[in-house]
Amino acid sequence: MTTLTPTRLAQMPRVNLLPPEIAAAAKLKRLQVMLGAMLLAAMAAVLLIFLVASNQIGGAEDELATAQAQGNVLQSEVATYAEVPKVLAELNTAQANLVTASTPEIRWSFYLNDLSLTIPKTTRLASLIAVNDAAAAQLDGSVTTGEGVMSPLGQVSMGSMTFTGRSTNFDAVASWLRSLAKQKGYLEPTVQNVIKAEEADTAGTFYNVESSTQLSLEAASNRFLTIANGE
């Protein structure tokens, strides 16, 4: 045998002696295995999706149950406080009525105290008449809440104070008039009559004096307006 023999042997044709049915059966088996693996993978994916969806549904159901429980609690609280709006409405109405009724209030005690501190020593008061014209006008409906009435000189007034007293002389009368003009809330202080008395007192001769003053809108206390404003 020469050296060309291996080459010739390698170049010899290969002959497949297996029947075609066996090869087809093997190919079919491989295909079945591959399809089975794909089916198992699909089933695993579906199972995973189902588990995730079930978990989400369970969480959503839990949240829904919690929300429903909270809703029931809130509904019971709403029923408990059902009367609150009605009570608040009644309270607001009462406060509004209080403000309406008290708007023309004048705190006379303050004015009397101021008079006692500022009246000149040369003047003595014998009588005082205080009138709240705005309150009376509001009651009879001629003015609305918060409005005053017109004074004799055409200015808005809450009311008036009329005095009778004694002064030692005309200078004392002028001092008395100046003291009224300095008071907060006084408007148009005037002297109507100055008559020399026929008799004398322990201080000597004197003059009977009749005077008056109007009260401006500053005289209204407005102490209940803070309630209406919620302060």
Mean pLDDT of all residues in 132-150: 63
Write down the pLDDT at residue 230. Answer: 45
Q: How confident is the model at residue 206 (pLDDT cuts 50, 70, 90)?
A: confident
Write down the pLDDT at residue 100. Answer: 57
Task: Please compute, for residue 206, the number of CA atoms within 13 A of its CA located in the half-sphere on the CB side.
Answer: 18
Please classify residue 50 by burial: count the beta carbons closer than 10 Å to its beta carbon, then call 0-12 exposed, 13-18 middle and 19+ buried. Answer: exposed
Q: Is 170's pLDDT higher than 70?
A: yes
Model's pTM, two decimal places?
0.50
Kindly state the DSSP code that residue 106 receives in the 8-state scheme: B
Task: Please compute, for residue 110, the number of CA atoms within 13 A of its CA located in the half-sphere on the CB side.
Answer: 11
| Highest mean pLDDT, choosing among 34-38, 49-53, 211-215 | 211-215
Q: How confident is the model at residue 192 (pLDDT cuts 50, 70, 90)?
A: very high
